C-alpha cells in the first residue's frame, strides 16, 4: 500500500497532466475550453470505468487513458497519475483526494468570481 504522501503526489501529477492538456477540466459546467464531459462529484468513483475522473471526462477510463497516454512521461502508468490504484485499499483515498482537489478548485473559482 502506498503512503498518503505518495498517493497525494500521484493525484497532483494527474491534475498537472489534465491542466496541461484539458484547460478547465475541473469546472462544473459551461466548460468551453474542451469538448469533454464534466465531472459530477456525486458520482465520482475511482473503481468505475465511467464514473472515475477519466471516465467522466472522456466517456470511459480506456478512452481517457488512450487520449492522454502519449502525453504521460515514459515508464509511468495510470497509477502514477492517480487515475487508477495499485492496491485495492488505495481506492478510497484516491476518491477522497480527487474530490478534495476538484472541490477546492471550484470553490476558489467561485470566490474569485464574486
Residue 1 predicted with pLDDT over 90:
no
CB 101 within 8 A of CB 53: no
The residue written with cell numbers 477510463 in the block is 61
Tally of domains within the chain: 1
Round to whole Å and give the CA distance between 82 and 5: 12
pTM of the model: 0.88
Per cent of the chain over pLDDT 90 is 71
Looking at every residue in the chain, the average pLDDT score rounds to 89
* Residue 13 structural domain: 4-113
Please provide the DSSP assignment of 45-82 as one string. -TT-TTTSHHHHHHSSHHHHHHHHHTTSPTT--GGGGT
pLDDT digits 0-9 by tens, 12-54: 999 999 999 998 899 876 544 445 578 999 999 999 999 999 9
Amino acid at each position: 500500500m502506498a503512503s498518503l504522501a505518495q498517493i497525494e503526489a500521484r493525484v497532483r501529477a494527474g491534475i498537472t497532466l489534465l491542466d496541461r492538456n484539458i484547460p478547465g477540466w475541473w469546472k462544473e459546467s459551461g466548460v468551453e475550453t474542451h469538448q469533454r464531459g464534466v465531472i459530477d462529484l456525486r458520482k465520482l468513483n475511482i473503481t468505475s470505468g465511467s464514473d472515475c475522473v477519466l471516465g467522466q471526462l472522456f466517456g470511459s477510463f480506456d478512452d481517457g487513458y488512450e487520449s492522454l497516454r502519449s502525453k504521460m512521461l515514459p515508464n509511468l502508468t495510470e497509477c502514477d497519475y492517480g487515475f487508477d490504484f495499485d492496491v485495492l485499499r488505495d481506492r478510497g483515498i484516491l476518491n477522497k483526494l480527487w474530490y478534495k482537489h476538484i472541490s477546492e478548485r471550484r470553490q476558489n473559482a467561485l470566490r474569485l468570481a464574486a
